[in-house]
Amino acid sequence: MKRIGILTSGGDAPGMNAAIRAVVRSAIYNGMEVYGIKRGYAGLINGDFVKMDLGSVGDIIHRGGTILRTARSEEFKTPEGMEKALKNIEALGLEGLVVIGGDGSFRGAIELSKRGVATIGIPGTIDNDIPFTDYSIGFDTAVNTVVEAVNKIRDTATSHERTFIIEVMGRESGNIALYSGVACGAETILVPEIPFTINDVCNKIMSGYRRGKLHSVIILAEGAGHGFDVGREIKNITGFETRVIVLGHLQRGGTPTAFDRILASQMGGKAVELLKSGMSNKMVGWVKGELLVTDLEQILTAHKVFNIELFELANILSI
């Protein structure tokens, strides 16, 4: 294999640049040419390619986002869009493709693999909802961003004796809420995987109040409810002043943590190794401290198990 491409697709995640750097430099070390594809699969359709060299990935390991930009492409899902992408791949002479993103990005990689393009996936999503990997690129940074924000919010929550609801990302996955909630000692963690009632939340707040606790921090995953709706209900039931903060896209940005940089570098290097050995339609994961290679089809048919033990521990520690 002499010429490969790399793209980032879907939502951006801190650490993607570290993965791009690892893919480009590992490929060049192994005698390959590397082309960056701008704006994900839309770039494949539009022929938005740029040749990468050692200098093009210099000084990016510490930067958030993705230098290749990212986008979602509905056209790529159509037969016409796929045909355009394949023609551009053939015209450029790409023999392999590294796709960094989530399950939607991997669906595109699978379709390309079926049509003869060697593809390797690298999980990059702050939601950490990809199965067959303990961590996806960007998750650790997102959790640390939330924890940093909550540390500051606690100062004013204590000063004004208020209940604060911090709404974090996670429409279908409560991982950011769970891990950040444990790390910052939240009194309540609300996630889409675990049903709850407002009365249960209020009872916990009142229990704390009766033992002298005058403020409370609630971490709410967006898929478990809307922060302002939950806040109004809590105030109506308890009478306590309640404030809501939606962290939003703040969680996607920022300098990636050391963990995310190292994880991304290892996954990027492994992706090139797999392409060099002739493998395709695989994802590089991280399980129990080691790199694990899994068929991409398995990723789409499996579901990542929610860490119920950690959730139960969080409830115990917040009594």
Does residue 3 have a known ligand-binding role?
no
Give the SS3 label for residue 30: coil
Out of 12, 127, 129, 260, the active site residue is 127
Total Cβ atoms within 10 A of residue 175: 26
Does residue 263 have a known ligand-binding role?
no
CA atoms of 12 and 15, how far apart (whole Å): 9
Does residue 303 have a known ligand-binding role?
no
Does residue 264 have a known ligand-binding role?
no
CA atoms of 38 and 18, how far apart (whole Å): 16
Does residue 186 have a known ligand-binding role?
yes
Does residue 59 have a known ligand-binding role?
no
Does residue 222 have a known ligand-binding role?
yes
H helix runs in the chain, sequence order: 16-29, 40-46, 79-92, 103-114, 139-160, 175-184, 198-210, 227-238, 258-276, 296-301, 308-317
Identify residue 297 by its one-letter amino acid code: E
Map tokens 């709410």 to a residue: 220
Q: How far is CA 39 from CA 55, 68, 108, 122, 254, in A?
A: 20, 6, 14, 16, 20
Map tokens 């990302």 to a residue: 169
Does residue 182 have a known ligand-binding role?
no
Cα angle 86, 37, 133; round to 5: 95
Q: Strands 282-287 and 290-295, how do they pair?
A: antiparallel
Does residue 154 have a known ligand-binding role?
yes
Give the SS3 label for residue 269: helix
Give the SS3 label for residue 214: coil
Q: What are phi and psi of 221, to 5 degrees?
A: -70, 140
Does residue 170 have a known ligand-binding role?
yes
Does residue 102 have a known ligand-binding role?
yes
Does residue 65 have a known ligand-binding role?
no
Does residue 247 have a known ligand-binding role?
no
Does residue 210 have a known ligand-binding role?
no
Does residue 265 have a known ligand-binding role?
no
Does residue 136 have a known ligand-binding role?
no
**Is 134 known to be catalytic?**
no
Cα angle 305, 307, 311; round to 5: 145
Q: Strands 188-190 and 216-221, how do they pair?
A: parallel
What are the catalytic residues?
Answer: 127
Q: Which residues contribute to the annotated binding site for Mg(2+)? A: 103
Q: Which residues contribute to the annotated binding site for ADP? A: 21-25, 154, 185-187, 211, 213-215
Q: Which residues contribute to the annotated binding site for ATP? A: 11, 72-73, 102-105
Q: Which residues contribute to the annotated binding site? A: 11, 21-25, 72-73, 102-105, 125-127, 154, 162, 169-171, 185-187, 211, 213-215, 222, 243, 249-252
Q: Which residues contribute to the annotated binding site for substrate? A: 125-127, 162, 169-171, 222, 243, 249-252
